[in-house]
Structure 1
Amino acid sequence: MTAACRVSVIIPCWKDELHLERLLAQLRQASTEDVAAMQIIVVDAASTEACHLLCQRFGAHWLPATPSRGDQLRQGAALAEHDVFWFLHADAHLELNPLAKIRAAIEGGAIGGYFAFRFIDTNSWQGRLLERLVAWRNRFGVPYGDQGIFVRRDAYFNAGQHAAWPLFEEVPLVKGLRKRGEFCCLESGLRVSARRWQRDGWWRRSLRNRLLALGFMLKVSPFRLAKLYSGPAVRRSGKQRSKSNDDT
């Protein structure tokens, strides 16, 4: 990997140590060349000792934060040292060598990109249909953070970074990047867990997410939408769980 393609991996987390442990292990199983040129930053909105110890075990930087994913991602980017940023959710599943695919895309002239939406743990017709619908949405809209957005450092800051919002924080960033150069889709290398759709119901969860997206399109505040997403138990203090790892 050339110096220009060394990667800082930025992972927002909120009490998701079980999945984070698997992801960190997968990152450390990359080729020797990739590991040597990779920085891992975990931005922990719960600020737990368990997450801190886990990061120490895998040689990742641990950064405590408040629960707003947009802020978490911006803080991680501020700490990042390398020239390519890769934003991953804690429950992402890596396949083969996605770092090599990112390197090839950047060295081929892309300023950034994302991975196609694929489930790791279901082959149901509902899952296959949702994958196709997300692919269609990506053609006309914005890929969300669970699709592993990666971007050149200079392009990230020139496009304005993630918005400091708890929801839809990647929308202005991706729109800005597409105006500045090629923002490509990689067809393989990353998969997402179906656990949230299986828990909440395929269509119930998908409908709720689309209603949130509609609210955002109608200029409802992302902070208001985050409270609606989290439900009535959310405290006004802002110490609630952000929509970490809960996209699409």
Structure 2
Amino acid sequence: MAPALSIIIPARNEAQQIVASLQPLQPYRPQVEIIVVDGGSSDNTAALAAPLCDQVLRSPPGRARQMNLGANAAQSCALLFLHADTQLPPDFARHIQLSLAAGHRWGRFDVRLVPGSRLLRVIGWMMNQRSRLTGVCTGDQGIFVENALFRELGGYPDIPLMEDIALSKRLRRHGRPACLQPALCTSSRRWQQHGTLRTVVLMWWLRALYWLGVSPHRLARWY
């Protein structure tokens, strides 16, 4: 029988986190298919992931390329794109299935940044509220979508940055996203490494420039 859901995880040099990310997913197999797409890691990410997933695929680096490759190999009718440093909430598959059965063709989860702080909790809340208002979702929120719709739209655009924003804009033409409240937990390492306020300003600035029409290739160099 085909799995009910395929999880596609793009990864590159995630040896320190990939096992901790994949282990909580094991009880959901084989109803949930797990596909890790390695984007040219120089560490042993792929070897560590292999026993804990259904497929490890090799891809040139680039999150959009990696996710599209994983989606092409997926066997289920629903896809969930998950960052390698993200933990899903309990019973996530049932929440997705109920959402799709109710007529939503795509959606995402609320997000919580961990380890957290008062400021990071505010940032997470703002990310979730912005997504509800705009219908635009980010990869940190675990975007899920009907496989048929994803293929109809041609998958993620092959751009080095803002691929999640670009896909959301296409998906919005087919309905608003389901915004599932059980929060997933995504690593706050980027915020901690580069400074919380500095990261907030950088991301707002890059998104504003993207909406103004600046090329994602130029944005990626600044990022």
TM-score bracket, normalised by the shorter chain, equals over 0.9
Match of 1:131 among 124, 138, 150: 124
Identify the range of structure 1 (165-174 vs 51-60) with the bigger mean alpha-carbon deviation.
51-60
Match of 2:218 among 220, 224, 232: 224
Shift of 1:52: 2.4
1:6-60: per-residue Cα shift (whole Å, max 9, x none)? 1111011110122221111011133xxxx12221111111245612222221133
Rounded to whole Å, the distance in 2 between the matches of 1:90 and 1:63 is: 14
User: Are 2:22 and 2:53, in contact at CA under 8 Å, matched by a contact in 1?
Assistant: no
Provide closer, same or farther for how the CA distance between residues 23 and 49 of structure 1 changes in structure 2, counting only shifts above 3 A.
Answer: same
Rounded to whole Å, the distance in 2 between the matches of 1:169 and 1:83 is: 22
Rounded to whole Å, the distance in 2 between the matches of 1:96 and 1:136 is: 22
Rounded to whole Å, the distance in 2 between the matches of 1:48 and 1:39 is: 25
Q: Identity over the aligned pairs, expressed in percent?
A: 32
| Number of residue pairs aligned between Structure 1 and Structure 2 | 222
Provide closer, same or farther for how the CA distance between residues 200 and 100 of structure 1 changes in structure 2, counting only shifts above 3 A.
Answer: same
- Are 2:93 and 1:99 equivalent residues in the alignment? yes
Runs of 5+ consecutive residues of structure 2 not aligned to the other structure = none
1:72-109: per-residue Cα shift (whole Å, max 9, x none)? 11111111111100000000012222111111111222
Q: Which has the higher strand share?
A: 2
Name the SS of the counterpart of 1:210 in structure 2.
helix
Provide closer, same or farther for how the CA distance between residues 59 and 136 of structure 1 changes in structure 2, counting only shifts above 3 A.
Answer: closer
Rounded to whole Å, the distance in 1 between the matches of 2:158 and 2:174 is: 21
Q: Which amino acid aligns with 1:199?
A: Q
Q: Which amino acid aligns with 1:23?
A: S
- Are 2:142 and 1:155 equivalent residues in the alignment? no
Runs of 5+ consecutive residues of structure 1 not aligned to the other structure = 230-248
Q: How does 1:40-51 map to 2 (within 5 A)?
A: 40-48=34-42, 50-51=44-45
TM-score of the two chains, using structure 1 as the length reference: 0.83
Query: What CA RMSD, in Å, does the superposition of the two structures yield over aligned residues?
Result: 1.8
Name the SS of the counterpart of 1:220 in structure 2.
coil
User: Are 1:98 and 1:189, in contact at CA under 8 Å, matched by a contact in 2?
Assistant: no
Rounded to whole Å, the distance in 1 between the matches of 2:52 and 2:89 is: 19
Rounded to whole Å, the distance in 1 between the matches of 2:149 and 2:121 is: 33
1:201-222: per-residue Cα shift (whole Å, max 9, x none)? 1110110111111121121111
Name the SS of the counterpart of 2:34 in structure 1.
strand
Larger relative contact order (Cα-Cα within 8 Å, sequence gap ≥ 6): 1
Name the SS of the counterpart of 1:117 in structure 2.
strand
Identify the residue that residue 165 of structure 1 maps to in structure 2: 159
User: Are 2:135 and 2:176, in contact at CA under 8 Å, matched by a contact in 1?
Assistant: no
- Are 2:45 and 1:24 equivalent residues in the alignment? no
Name the SS of the counterpart of 2:161 in structure 1.
coil
User: Are 2:112 and 2:183, in contact at CA under 8 Å, matched by a contact in 1?
Assistant: no
